[in-house]
């Protein structure tokens, strides 16, 4: 996992934070399909994301925008000629925290 960011008070409102992340995981499992003894399955997952957060000190709040892509890359063969395709999920999250 790699996660890095930058934070600085670039406005009079409060701290601005920009961050990015990358994560890769491999399950390391090889399963045999009961129907086809030759079918081997393992998978790798990837996550890549970035975000920006702006503190609003005068009103004790933060606003944020984050985007992320999660991908599952299975290396599975159901039969010798049929493979399972990659799956991806894209998400965008925006919001505001208000402290009171």
> 70, 92 in Cβ contact below 8 A?
no
Q: Write out the two tokens for 1.
A: 């996992």
Tally of CA atoms within 13 A in the half-sphere of 69 that contains its CB: 6
pLDDT per residue rounded down to tens, the chain (100 residues): 899 999 999 988 999 999 999 998 876 655 555 555 555 566 778 899 999 999 999 999 999 999 999 988 776 555 556 666 778 899 999 999 998 8
Q: pLDDT value at position 45?
A: 84
């Amino acid at each position: 996992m790699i996660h890095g960011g930058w934070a600085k008070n670039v406005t009079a409102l409060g701290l601005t934070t920009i961050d990015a992340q990358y994560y890769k995981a491999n399950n390391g499992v090889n399963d045999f399909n009961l129907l086809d003894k030759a079918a081997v399955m393992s998978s790798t997952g990837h996550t890549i994301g970035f975000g920006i957060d702006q503190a609003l000190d005068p009103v004790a709040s933060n606003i944020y925008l984050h985007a992320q892509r999660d991908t599952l890359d299975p290396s599975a063969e159901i039969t010798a000629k049929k493979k399972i395709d990659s799956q991806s999920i894209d998400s965008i999250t925006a919001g505001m925290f208000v402290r009171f």
